[in-house]
Structure 1
């Protein structure tokens, strides 16, 4: 049987080795806006030899579909002039960019020159990699790259150790799931996992994969419905840690686990969410065409939340004005902006280099695909893809000390990046247990492993975002983001003593997502009727007499309600509810203040939930006379009441029937009558004067 301790150690080593790509970088500066008028496009230099390479071509903005089609058609003309094949891979009319595979070493320069001659304005043209495409991606027949041999997975049971679910507990995900099970109905939500490909037949994902929303983008950035292509175990198992599987297990793994030491945990933040397996990683490389494909796919398939625990390769930091990097950077920036316009919330990891992302100056990891990274490459002003893009949520990694305090993971090998401006929010990411594909019974995959990195922190946030979307299905990406940050808990995190600010808005809070800012019950009206319900009037401050009907009208998330005080009644509803009750004040002999308390209960019965509504209404119940008719309101003139009022003489208290029907005050009617008489007399006098003349 396999040594499980060694598996864990090797898995952790693999995570550390992948810090360059899988885990995401982030810097503080916002991405530069699209250039609307590029006099001279940014074009990558020619290569020393012909080979099959992929290029990104970005039109100057604004652009239109006709110009894009013309620009695509131009590829064949350039290829003919060069005498070397070229092929359009995929075009994106939504943001004016497309990808091309070409063999000529000077394709970028040749295309830019031909476009200028044709009057097509470009922003940039450049290769997306520093090596030729893989053999299986080669569509034009030139020189390509042969991937390294695949590794063979081991077999064995789950990996046990200390409590790998501590992160679920500190963000309140365990209590959140209890609340959901009892009190909260979640609307369906799908979270896109842009990563190395989930092992879909792992037991934690039974029924969890939304196959219609899943795809592979690892062949030239063209969506591929082949399930084997998106399943890393079947198509590419070089990544020993099975990064996507571990990430996906944190977001929406399904099964309840028990480790060998007796710890009990549920393997995800939101097991009611579904997962879209969107593969954008092959052999730890995440090229621009792969990522653009994944973002565009997410937007066009209405996936509201995506987790991107990676940094786009081959550059750790992309220089927007550098010819070798400008086109790749710009096309990813445009794709992310398009996805955000389509209400996709993008959650990314801050990466694991112990780096101040507000002050990045050097990079010794790039390019990642040649095997010969440039040492101490100056990157001041460089941008991280994805963390350096505007609007994304960049997540730092928190660890729990022995005394229970929460601080930034500062491991010298994979410590979390930080930065006051760069980090949006913090989440647990150190020694996290989640799904790991080990062979189980009957050919299924099972097992768990521990891993550390911002790659593990980001999916905690994605899971909480899924909870918020499930409770508020009408929320936009901006509203989900706003609630995530508003509910983050700064008090749980230790302030940095070394100046390395990592907290962002605070620690993500799953429990708050299901108890605070909930869809609320609404009390629309508290009213009374003196005519059996034919007409209704506001009860607050009113004076009522005799028999009346009192009601409360409720809506919103109401499920039940009560009236108490002057009346006692209750009822149940589902989004609308009216509770009413008759009450008789005929026996009163003096005016009395009355109260009605109204309670409208929302869907969430958790005592910490804020979805209930209450109202307290005060009114006056007046006595009636011997005849049972209401006593008229008398102005307070400071005099004692007359004998008729004291004795309750009905003839003195009751107005004439014909006047009472009008609803007008008797004294007003008398005054009006006197005025009419005076006016009539004046009119007669005028007529007489005219007649005398």
Structure 2
């Protein structure tokens, strides 16, 4: 997850996928001295099986770690320093080394709040939750009205592709589909409970609470407390996400009955992935194949727009790069061939963020034709004009202190927080209308959203973050408008 590189926003989930070189033809040369153990994505031609590619991998002294025959992609490890050239041949379309291409998950500080617990209520009324009064975000999208009609169906499972979910949290313990949860770190699914619990980040726990925290008289409420969430862990202990983990996450969600996924991150070596760059194309192709496959299996992907205050419809430059120190220190010029993934992938619902005012958060990226809808993401600077933070203007949700191994509640802000609001609304929509396809569901979210008009002139709620809104009823800041929980179930 990852989107706010070099930002101090308290919920930037950063996930960056790597790049590699497309290769063709050639026979394996004489063996070289062993190099470092490196992970590669090996792609068979579009529509082809992976058997021929697997044979090439073996001949090139590689080991298949995971095989996704459904999309013609192999995850491979090898110590052969010439693997990229040696594996080339019949059955191999392209290869991407993922070494050094992860981007650290940047969360910023979590502001903890009191863990006061009220007596359990039996009214199923979210407004009775002890901390509901601090959840300004839920009334903004009509959650209480929605719950009076439909609080969600347990048949709907939302995949949280993130840093894991605390299975011991009192607001989440009853909400997790443990049989559908897994860690994809390393590119291989591990279903043991300890594997998919958080180890170094509570970002996924916070996201999960926004989607489905239980109405149980404890803590907070989620947008859709009747649905289930599945932990699909894709962030390693160093808080990096690598291509093999993200790819595994999409495929796991597709093959385990998830109807919605939340993706609070972007994928690639910089904040943009350029399809016309030979180094980046293989990973881009692998991710696209996984997204298309999961959509064909009935999965709608909801993604954050990012926290760089970029106009994504007019991209021209980025100096962002992976920060694990092993990728060449370079910046690049970008054009329309360069996209934010998964947010700009076809069929993905892209979500911008608003403050408690209902207006664009200072950090939220935007773009006419890119942003589909908006949702509460918080803005801890709007009341002080950027001078000092007001934590309660962030999003309150469930947390897990990975140092002390204790559960709690706290505030974060970012489009990482707006995306799960939209994912929760999508889950409510599926609960009320279970036959919807991903395309129908995406359209329904937009048609039921409440239109938000553009601000006039330059919008700069925090000095140094100017932006200009374009468009009419559907515009660059808010897309079709604010998601609305009541509208999708009434």
**TM-score scaled to structure 2, two decimals?**
0.79
Separation in 2 of the partners of 1:314 and 1:49? 26
- Alpha-carbon distance, 1:190 to partner: 0.8
Contact 2:13-2:203 at 8 Å conserved across structures: no
Task: Compare the two structures and name the one with the higher strand fraction.
Answer: 1
Separation in 1 of the partners of 2:351 and 2:484? 13
Change (3 A) 1:465 1:194: same
What residue is the counterpart of 2:74 in the other structure?
98
- Which of 176, 179, 196 is equivalent to 1:230? 196
Separation in 2 of the partners of 1:293 and 1:207? 25
Change (3 A) 1:154 1:15: closer
Contact 1:157-1:438 at 8 Å conserved across structures: no
Corresponding position: 1:271 with 2:230: no
Corresponding position: 1:51 with 2:36: yes
- Alpha-carbon distance, 1:480 to partner: 1.4
CA-to-aligned-CA distance 1:591-646 (integer Å, 9 cap, x gap): xxxxxxxxxxxxxxxxxxxxxxxxxxxxxxxxxxxxxxxxxxxxxxxxxxxxxxxx
Relative contact order (alpha carbons < 8 A, sep ≥ 6): 1 or 2 greater? Answer: 2
- Alpha-carbon distance, 1:365 to partner: 2.1
The aligned runs of 1:519-538 (5 Å cut-off) are: none
Change (3 A) 1:48 1:309: farther
Corresponding position: 1:180 with 2:158: no
Query: Secondary structure at the residue paired with 2:148?
Result: helix
What residue is the counterpart of 1:433 in the other structure?
396
What residue is the counterpart of 1:601 in the other structure?
none
Separation in 2 of the partners of 1:225 and 1:477? 26
Separation in 2 of the partners of 1:108 and 1:95? 20
The aligned runs of 1:167-566 (5 Å cut-off) are: 167-180=137-150, 186=153, 188-218=155-185, 220-232=186-198, 236-237=199-200, 239=201, 242-255=202-215, 266-282=220-236, 283-370=238-325, 374=329, 376-380=331-335, 381-401=337-357, 406-410=358-362, 415-430=363-378, 431-438=394-401, 445-490=406-451, 492-495=452-455, 497-498=457-458, 499-500=468-469, 501-515=476-490
- Alpha-carbon distance, 1:180 to partner: 2.8
- Alpha-carbon distance, 1:388 to partner: 2.1
Contact 1:305-1:346 at 8 Å conserved across structures: yes
Bigger-Rg structure (1/2): 1
Contact 1:15-1:453 at 8 Å conserved across structures: no
Contact 2:11-2:413 at 8 Å conserved across structures: no
CA-to-aligned-CA distance 1:211-266 (integer Å, 9 cap, x gap): 11100000x2100012111111xxx22x3xx100000000001145688xxxxxx4
Query: Secondary structure at the residue paired with 1:359?
Result: coil
Separation in 1 of the partners of 2:82 and 2:477? 44
What residue is the counterpart of 1:108 in the other structure?
84
Separation in 2 of the partners of 1:229 and 1:39? 35
Separation in 1 of the partners of 2:271 and 2:328? 10
Contact 2:11-2:414 at 8 Å conserved across structures: no
- Alpha-carbon distance, 1:99 to partner: 1.3
- Which of 7, 12, 21 is equivalent to 1:19? 12
- Alpha-carbon distance, 1:267 to partner: 2.2
Q: Gaps spanning 5+ residues in structure 2: where?
A: 1-5, 26-31, 105-109, 117-129, 379-393, 459-467, 470-475
Which moves more between the two structures, 365-374 or 94-103? 365-374
Query: Secondary structure at the residue paired with 1:250?
Result: helix
What residue is the counterpart of 2:386 in the other structure?
none
Change (3 A) 1:446 1:126: closer
Separation in 2 of the partners of 1:384 and 1:15? 20
Separation in 2 of the partners of 1:256 and 1:447? 15
Contact 2:44-2:73 at 8 Å conserved across structures: yes
- Alpha-carbon distance, 1:476 to partner: 1.6
Change (3 A) 1:58 1:433: same
What residue is the counterpart of 2:388 in the other structure?
none
- Alpha-carbon distance, 1:496 to partner: 5.4
Contact 1:295-1:335 at 8 Å conserved across structures: yes
Separation in 1 of the partners of 2:140 and 2:111? 33
Separation in 2 of the partners of 1:18 and 1:472? 31
Separation in 1 of the partners of 2:40 and 2:319? 24
- Alpha-carbon distance, 1:14 to partner: 8.8
Runs of 4+ in 1 over 6 A off after TM superposition: 153-156, 159-162
Corresponding position: 1:74 with 2:74: no
Query: Secondary structure at the residue paired with 2:440?
Result: helix
- Alpha-carbon distance, 1:17 to partner: 7.0
Separation in 2 of the partners of 1:172 and 1:17? 25
Contact 1:204-1:254 at 8 Å conserved across structures: yes
- Alpha-carbon distance, 1:174 to partner: 1.5
